[in-house]
């Protein structure tokens, strides 16, 4: 029996850094959403634990114990499984690639092995794993472990653009000028896509300035997305991936094609926001 799980891209529509704990982890307020673009995990019975990495973004992804997929399997504590990770998301890209893979692995193996999900929702694997396990729009706070319901968002489509190269998350957090930035405003209800994007533009991603210092190309990516008619262009997470918001699938697809034509070396994809767990 083979069990499949989707690992959608995790996108931070906002990311407010409001403080820092004694252990160095930062306190965040982030409106997190998920897009129908991602990796796929397939698990099946096997005598021992084996991982194969396939797909267009497999190059450079570790196949040893440092892969978050294998760390998730060990956390669950089952004995054996053949795991195939089909990679479509760029790694170290600010869209939770490894974290979403780990969450999808927890979902698939808990079914295969008939085991409960971990009590910490995978937080010990990484700060983004709990929100990736939920894989639905929510307000993420704490260091990533507090997940709160938000009002239903308007239908939204997204273009994702990554210029290549890896942006290490720790370096971006270290580059913050301030750790005690103003909090996020409450998420409004009942807005249509343009009005919701206008509200988002009054909020922030505090990691954008330090990420631009690490990878100045982020400015070019944001300009390209804004130039393709996005309702909002912003960096996700610690970067370098940036997103553009659109009110319908056609305009997102058209913008993605336009950006890809202008910058064929960049990774460009698009999809609808949704819930995927
Ligand atoms: C930037 C975000 O992606 C936003 O969703 C997350 O906060 C980071 O999630 P992540 O990549 O899963 O983070 P982890 O792998 O747990 O931590 C990587 C490094 O990021 C920094 N880190 C991460 C999360 C957090 N709340 N504060 C931090 O300072 C720490 O230096 C940590 O050593
Ligand atoms: N399943 C995986 N897929 C991709 N990278 C992985 C995986 N497991 C471990 N890694 C390692 O983790 C590093 C960070 O990759 P990851 O995709 O988790 O970062 P990210 O997309 O920036 O996540 P976040 O948005 O949470 O910051 C990679 O450079 C790679 O060496």
Cβ partners under 8 Å of residue 140, min gap 6:
28, 29, 30, 31, 32, 130, 131, 146, 147
Burial annotation 26-55 (CB, 10 A radius, 16+ → b, else e): bbbbbbbbbbbbbbbbbbeeeeebebebee
Confirm whether 23 is a catalytic residue: no
From ligand 1's centre to the CA of 127, what distance in Å?
5
The verdict on the CB of residue 238 being under 6 Å from ligand 2 is: yes
- Assembly ipTM: 0.96
Looking at 10, 71, 87, 260, which residue is catalytic?
10
E strand or H helix at 39, and its extent?
strand 26-44
Across 151-167, average pLDDT: 97
Mean pLDDT of the residues in the chain: 97
**Is the pLDDT assigned to residue 89 strictly greater than 90?**
yes
Q: Which domains does the chain show, CATH number per domain?
A: 2-142 (3.30.230.10), 153-274 (3.30.70.890)
Residue 124, token pair as written in the block: 């010990």
pLDDT digits (tens, 9 = 90+) for 174-228: 999 999 999 999 999 999 999 999 999 999 999 999 999 999 999 999 999 999 9
pLDDT digits (tens, 9 = 90+) for 96-117: 999 999 999 999 999 999 999 9
Decide: 214 and 171 in contact? Cβ < 8 Å: yes
pLDDT digits (tens, 9 = 90+) for 173-187: 999 999 999 999 999
**Is the pLDDT assigned to residue 78 strictly greater than 90?**
no
Q: What pTM, to 2 d.p., does this model score? A: 0.97
From ligand 2's centre to the CA of 89, what distance in Å?
9
């Amino acid at each position: 029996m083979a069990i499949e799980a989707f690992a959608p891209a995790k996108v931070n529509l906002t990311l407010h850094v409001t403080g820092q704990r004694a252990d160095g982890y930062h306190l965040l307020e982030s409106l997190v959403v998920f897009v129908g673009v991602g990796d796929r995990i397939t698990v099946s019975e096997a005598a021992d634990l084996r991982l194969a990495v396939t797909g267009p973004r497999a190059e450079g992804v570790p196949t040893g114990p440092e892969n978050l997929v294998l760390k998730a399997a060990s956390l669950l504590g089952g004995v054996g499984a053949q795991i195939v990770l089909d990679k479509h998301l760029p790694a170290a890209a600010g869209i939770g690639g490894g974290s979403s893979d780990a969450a999808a692995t927890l979902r698939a193996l808990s079914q295969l092995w008939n085991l409960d999900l971990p009590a910490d929702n995978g937080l010990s694997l990484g700060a983004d794993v709990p929100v990736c396990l939920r894989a639905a729009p929510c307000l993420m706070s704490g260091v990533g472990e507090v997940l709160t319901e938000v009002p239903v968002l308007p239908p939204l489509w997204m273009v994702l653009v990554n210029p290549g190269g890896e942006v290490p998350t720790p370096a971006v957090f270290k580059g913050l000028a301030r750790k005690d930035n103003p909090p996020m405003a409450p998420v409004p209800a009942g807005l249509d896509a343009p009005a919701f994007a206008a509200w988002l533009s009054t909020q922030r991603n505090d990691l954008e300035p330090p990420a631009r210092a690490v990878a100045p190309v982020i400015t070019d990516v944001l300009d390209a997305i804004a130039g393709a008619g996005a309702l909002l262009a912003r960096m996700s997470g610690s970067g370098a991936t940036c997103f553009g918001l659109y009110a319908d699938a056609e305009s997102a697809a058209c913008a993605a094609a336009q950006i890809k034509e202008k910058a064929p070396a960049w990774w460009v994809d698009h999809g609808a926001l949704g819930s995927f767990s």
